[in-house]
Amino acid sequence: MTTIRSLTTRLQRVPLTRPWGEEVTSVGIVATHVVRSDGAEGWGFAWTPQIGASAVQALLERDIAPASVGRSAVPGEAWQDLWEHLHEAGGGGVTTIALAGLDLALWDAEARSAGTTVSGLIGRRRERVRAYGSGVNLHYPLDELLAQVQRWVDAGFDAVKIKVGRPDLAEDLERVAAVREVLGPDRALMIDANQRWDLTAATTAIEALSRHDLTWVEEPLRADDLAGHTELARRIDVPLAVGENLHTLHRVDDFLRAGAAQIVQPNIVRVGGITPFLRIAELAASHGATLHPHLLPELSGQLALTLPDTGAELWVEDVEDAGFAALGALVDSSPVRIADGYLTENAHPGLGLRFAPLLGADPSQPSEPFEPFEPFDPSQPSAPTA
């Protein structure tokens, strides 16, 4: 059996050329490197824009690495046991974000060893997938927002998403009406409230904004408010989209069973990597829900090419000026290309997402030396939990 020989990490911040707010001027990356017992190597990452990157790295170094060394290196085989091992620290959130760092590296190593891409390893079902323009733009003045929307139109996007949730609903109405005018009647328009409303405010706002032909409204309420989303779905006609802050298959299942969402948007890193993402995609299909992966098109676009046809067109999200390659964060060129509103895959090994280290450093090495880990012994029981 091929096993995990070592797992090392490097924490770095990638500056954003277009800040996502006054305090969000960079995103946190924990670059990961796996070496298997057969010598094959894989590179992955965990990601969190502003909060928790150091905690994610600590979990990877001090909890996931010791528990993973000696386990199967076949993608997905060790995921459930490791998730259960971490569960004392929480079933999702920082724990699943950290698990993604290992999971992505294992998929990368497997694909590189097989001489293919991860999409080729899983099985590519389409050659391109639709992309929509997106921006973290609630803080933009109206003229800057409209200029951004015009750039998306000029670039060939036929769907865009903007942020809503200004203190005064009249401001949202003005902004959405102006965006619709730039887009015209034939392009899709989605809005994202980023959990800013309560049930009453969401009902009022969506009823008012729906006159502008909305394709979906995203995260109108607190992300974990299952009862609120269930009631809101009963009240409104615009499809509800949730998922970027639902961190487990089980929580996504709760929302789908309750009829609290028609669209799910799992973030591949936040749910724990490719392994759970593929399971969530199967779950969504079984419920007849539409799935559009959240953010990170250089990763999510590759996975979208592998998903089965459910009758609904897949879309991936392209946030303006936030691609890792465009930010100069990658060792290699981007594994995907977005042009004329579609994402296609470029030739690359594995995931094609090796993050560039500090100048002069070796991308296969951590920023600081770590203590060696004791290999996992499957004959020994796990530590008891309270």
Q: What is the DSSP string of 162-212?
A: EE---SSHHHHHHHHHHHHHHH-SSSEEEEE-TT---HHHHHHHHHHHGGG
Parallel, antiparallel or unpaired: strands 240-242 and 342-345: unpaired
Helix (H) or strand (E) holding 231: helix 226-235
In the residue annotation, 163 being an active-site residue is answered as yes
- Decide if 291 contacts 264 (C-beta within 8 A): yes
Residue with tokens 């928790």: 52
Residue of 33, 161, 163, 348 marked active site: 163
In the residue annotation, 294 being an active-site residue is answered as yes
The residues, any chain, with a CB within 8 Å of residue 328's CB and separated by 6 or more, are 356
Q: What are the tokens at 106?
A: 């294992």
How far is Cα 30 from Cα 51, in angstroms, rounded to an integer? 12
Q: What are the tokens at 6?
A: 């070592």
How far is Cα 185 from Cα 231, in angstroms, rounded to an integer? 30
Strand segments (E) across the chain: 4-15, 26-36, 41-48, 129-134, 159-163, 188-192, 214-218, 240-242, 263-264, 290-291, 315-319, 336-339, 342-345
Residue of 33, 229, 294, 348 marked active site: 294
Active site residues: 163, 294
